[in-house]
Amino acid sequence: MTTLITPTALAERLSRGDRIVVLDVQYNLVGTPGRELYVVAHLPGARFVDLDTELAGPPGAGGRHPLPDVAALERALRANGIDDSSAVAVYDQGTGLGSARAWWLLTYVGLSGVQVLDGGLAAWVAAGLPVSDGVAATATPGTVTVRPGALPLLDAEGAAELARTGLLLDARAAERYAGRTEPIDAVAGHIPGARNAPMSDYVDQDGRLLPREELMAFFAGRGVFEHAEVGAYCGSGITAAHLALALRQLGITAPVYVGSWSEWITDPTRPIATGDDPT
C-alpha cells in the first residue's frame, strides 16, 4: 500500500464498499478553525479530528504541539470507529499539514493502513467529487489499541546529536531558519548544524508533494542521500511530519523531533544558530 491516495482512487474504494475510516483534519494555525471548515464542506462520511486538541497534547514545556496523552488519543480514535485493522484515509483542506500530522501520529501508534488524500479536499472538489456539510452521525465505537513506537522519535538531545553526526532538516521558511524573523515563537534561529529544507520548496503551487523525481533532486541537494540517518524538525512538529511524509516517498523513514523549535527554546542553555549557514 502506498502512502498517498488520489481522489479518484479513494472515491472508487468508497463506492465499492471498502471499509475505510475517513478522517478530516482540516487545520489552520491562524484563521478559520478546522472544525468550522469541516461543517462547511467535507468528504461524505468523514469524521473531524481536531489537530490541536486530539492529535496533540496541551502546549507547554514540550512545545506547541507535543504528543497527546496515549489514553486520550485512544479514546478519540475509538470514538471515530477505528479498530486495529482499520484502513484509514486522512485529508485536510489541501495544505498537507493536518493530514501529514494525522498520518505520522497514527502510524507512530501502530496503525499500518493510513493513507493521505493527495491534494486534500481541494483536489477532491477539483475532481468533481461530492461533498457534505454539517456533522456526520456518531460512529460505531472502534476497538483500536494504540501502541506508540512504530516510528522513530527525536528528543532535544537526539536532535542535537543528529545535527552533529548525521543530517537534521529544518522544514521552516528560510527567514525563520535564519533568524531574520520569528512570527510565532519567542526566540529566532535554528538548531546548530541543522540544514534548511523549507516545505515550500518541495511542494507544487497547489500544495501537493512534487513528483518523485523532483523530490529526489531537491533532497539530494540537501545532502539526504549522503547520510545514514536523516531527521526532521520545524516550529512545533507539524511541518516536520510533512517533511517525514515527503521523505517516505523516497523510502526514507526520518525520525521527527516532535517538540521541535518551540521546545528547544524552552531551555536557555541550548545553543542557537542564526544565518543561512547550518552552523
Has residue 34 been placed in a domain?
yes
Q: Supply the pTM of this predicted model.
A: 0.96
Do residue 237 and residue 191 come from a single domain? yes
Do residue 203 and residue 252 come from a single domain? yes
pLDDT tens-digit readout, 16-73: 999 999 999 999 998 999 999 999 999 999 999 999 999 999 999 999 999 999 999 9
What pLDDT, on the 0 to 100 scale, is given for residue 183? 95
Has residue 179 been placed in a domain?
yes
pLDDT tens-digit readout, 147-170: 999 999 999 999 999 999 999 999
Has residue 274 been placed in a domain?
no
For residues 226-247, one letter each, b for 16 or more C-beta atoms within 10 angstroms of the residue's C-beta and e for the rest, the string is: eeebbbbbbbbbbbbbbbbbbb
Do residue 45 and residue 122 come from a single domain? yes
Do residue 110 and residue 180 come from a single domain? no
Query: Chain-wide mean pLDDT for the chain?
Result: 96
Has residue 180 been placed in a domain?
yes
Do residue 110 and residue 14 come from a single domain? yes
Question: What is the domain range of residue 183?
Answer: 153-264
Is 234 catalytic? The answer is: yes
What pLDDT, on the 0 to 100 scale, is given for residue 128? 97
pLDDT tens-digit readout, 167-212: 999 999 999 999 999 999 999 999 999 999 999 999 999 999 999 9
How far apart are alpha carbons 108 and 115 in whole angstroms?
A: 13
Residue 137 pLDDT class (50, 70, 90 cuts): confident
How far apart are alpha carbons 166 and 159 in whole angstroms?
A: 10
- Residue 24, domain CATH: 3.40.250.10
Number of domains in the chain: 2
C-alpha cell at 80: 471515530
The neighbouring-strand residues paired with 168 are 231
Do residue 95 and residue 161 come from a single domain? no
Do residue 115 and residue 167 come from a single domain? no
> What are the strands, taking DSSP E only, across the chain?
4-5, 20-24, 47-48, 87-91, 114-117, 153-154, 167-170, 195-196, 230-233, 256-257
Set 114, 169, 234, 243: catalytic member: 234
Do residue 184 and residue 91 come from a single domain? no
C-alpha cell at 158: 537526539
Phi–psi pair at 257, nearest 5 degrees: -85, 95
Does the pLDDT at position 12 exceed 70? yes
